[in-house]
A and B are shown apart, each in its own frame.
Chain A
Amino acid sequence: MKQLIFFTLQEVINARLFRLMLLAPMVLSLLALTFTGLFMLDLGKVFVDSMFTTAHILCFAFLMFMTVPFLARDIEARFTYVLLTLPINRNQYLIGRFLGLTMAFLLLISALAVVSVLSLELTQFIWDDLYMASANAGNIILGIALISCQYLSLMAVALFVFSWATGPAEVLSFTFLIWLLSWIFPPVLTAMQDADVAETVPPLLQAFLEGCYQLLPHLTGGDIANRLAHGASLSGSDISLYIAEHTAYTVILLILSTLLFRRRNL
């Protein structure tokens, strides 16, 4: 499986789009610095916030423009046939592809973290008198790492869809749908907590929606990043629970994917 992981990594790294993505943090951090310069106060907070938004954009781009087309192409162009007739079984194929993509994703995230920390140092150097103490390298690295956790769950969603989908359109639409629903559900459920709304919604529908929400990845990385940018400290247990939740979600989806993929016709 090791060979397949490194082969997948090589495939991704050689792609022009991925190389462009690796350059993007530098350009985006310059944009973030320009944007930060427009503010008069809390420059550190503004800069950290901008870098977290950059992390969301890059992670989403990697999910939709690298992971999804990469997996979809394996089905469409029948590269799966070539790989599965090497001494690779279906489980090794699926896990190897996922881990290869994950390694490329981690490379992208690391590049972003390094550029963010260097840019923060520059911010500190330029606007020393207006600098906000809570914006430090540790917070930036932690925020980016926690944001990337939720996209790892979404990559597992894409793999799960791939395990039963028959073509690229299905992989793209279902992955996008799940991402969209994951954003839509929390405000809907919060609104349903309101006494007036709760009266009009049948309990069965409420329970159904709650159940659906539990099946989706919880995209709360934005809230965490917001707290970090505002200097609010996160407890160790909060961080551990968040990481454990996304790791468990990813592992469960990987297991389900292998079970489905093992039985499907190619």
Chain B
Amino acid sequence: MSSITITKLRKSYSNHLVLDDISICLEPGKAIGILGENGAGKSTLIKCILKLVRPDEGEVSKSISQSEIAYLPEQSYLPETVSGMNMVRFAASYTATQDEAHAALTRVGLRKTAWNKPIRSYSKGMRQRTAIAMMLVRHPDWLILDEPMSGLDAIGRRQMLDLFLNERKNGRSILMSSHHVADMVRLCDEVTILSGGRVRESVAIQDRSVDEINYLEQKLADYAEGTE
């Protein structure tokens, strides 16, 4: 399993610096969180890793190939006219068998009666589950999640989190960006705070306690307000 090494990454959009001299090494086998306020540069950093955006300077290690990474964008859009089953089959057609498509849909807990219905009839949670099944069916080394729980209700968030926790237990490497500290602390082994486009601090998660959540929330607020 390969690590992802980011070296001196810099990216700006029309004179607005979004990422400034970012250097991180993302070790395999861990769940790593990128925590930051809105506009901190989390999504841009992920897009640079996925090569959806070209950095102005710096680089992301070439040792990792596209087939080793699966990505879940914030509020994944899936075509309305296709069924969940066909979406997962399509993703499976690159690296997996059709039986694995069934297994992936079962694993994410999508009701069997919904499998062959068009996605336009799905709820937000069901769409998210389908997108996750599309990721899992490919057996990637890395799951890259950009605000995966955004827009979900409390039950949906809980179910998603349990699913990712299960993947982590199975040894999958996870990189998750979020501004929701409690989710981060429950899932991740290490949290990197990104603020104003810069890496401020990396915190190893110890006991997943309320104190750790409070500590990270305070740190995030301090960096966002510029008092730290």
Interface residues of chain A, those whose CB is within 8 Å of chain B, are 3, 7, 10-11, 14-16, 77-79, 81-82, 84-89, 263, 265-266
Contact = CB atoms under 8 A, between A and B. Distances in A.
Contact of A14 (B82, B93, B94): B82
Contact of B118 (A14, A82, A265): A14
A265 B90 CA distance: 25
A263 B95 CA distance: 27
State the 10 A-B residue pairs at the shortest beta-carbon distance, nearest first. A77-B77, A14-B81, A85-B71, A266-B52, A3-B93, A265-B53, A87-B67, A7-B90, A81-B73, A87-B94
Nearest to A3: B93
Given A3-B90, A3-B94, A11 B52 contact: no
Interface of B: 47, 50, 52-54, 66-67, 69-71, 73, 76-79, 81-82, 86, 90-91, 93-95, 118, 131, 134, 138, 144
Given A82-B71, A85-B71, 12 more contacts: A11-B81, A78-B73, A84-B50, A85-B66, A85-B69, A86-B94, A87-B94, A87-B95, A88-B94, A265-B52, A265-B54, A266-B52
Contacts of A82: 71, 73, 76-78, 131, 134
A84 B52 contact: yes
Nearest to B140: A85
B121 to A, nearest CB: 13
26 contacts: A3-B90, A3-B93, A7-B86, A10-B82, A11-B82, A14-B81, A14-B82, A14-B118, A78-B73, A79-B78, A81-B50, A82-B76, A82-B77, A82-B134, A85-B52, A85-B66, A85-B69, A85-B70, A85-B71, A85-B144, A87-B66, A87-B94, A87-B95, A263-B54, A266-B52, A266-B53
Nearest to A17: B81
Contacts, number: 59
- Output the residue of A77, A86, A263 with the most chain B CB within 10 A: A86
A127 B47 CA distance: 65
A121 to B, nearest CB: 34
Contacts of A10: 82, 86
B133 to A, nearest CB: 12
A2 to B, nearest CB: 9
A87 B76 CA distance: 18
B192 to A, nearest CB: 21
A14 B95 CA distance: 25
B79 A79 contact: yes
A256 to B, nearest CB: 19
B9 to A, nearest CB: 14
Contacts of B66: 85, 87, 89
Contacts of A266: 47, 52-53
Nearest to B68: A87
A79 B81 CA distance: 14
A81 B78 contact: no
- Output the residue of B79, B91, B95, B144 with the most chain A CB within 10 A: B79
A11 B81 CA distance: 6
A28 B90 CA distance: 36
A10 B119 CA distance: 13
- Output the residue of A16, A81, A89 with the most chain B CB within 10 A: A81
Nearest to B134: A82
B94 A11 contact: no
A10 B81 CA distance: 8
Given A14-B82, A266-B53, A78 B94 contact: no
A83 to B, nearest CB: 9
A235 B2 CA distance: 62
Contacts of A7: 82, 86, 90
Contacts of A263: 54
Contact of A86 (B78, B82, B91, B144): B91
Contacts of B94: 3, 86-88
Nearest to A84: B52
A88 B91 CA distance: 10
A81 B52 contact: yes
Contacts of B118: 14
Nearest to A19: B81
A79 B75 CA distance: 10
Contacts of A79: 77-79
Contacts of A265: 47, 52-54
- Output the residue of A11, A77, A85, A86 with the most chain B CB within 10 A: A85
A265 B94 CA distance: 25
Nearest to B131: A82
Contacts of A85: 50, 52, 66, 69-71, 144
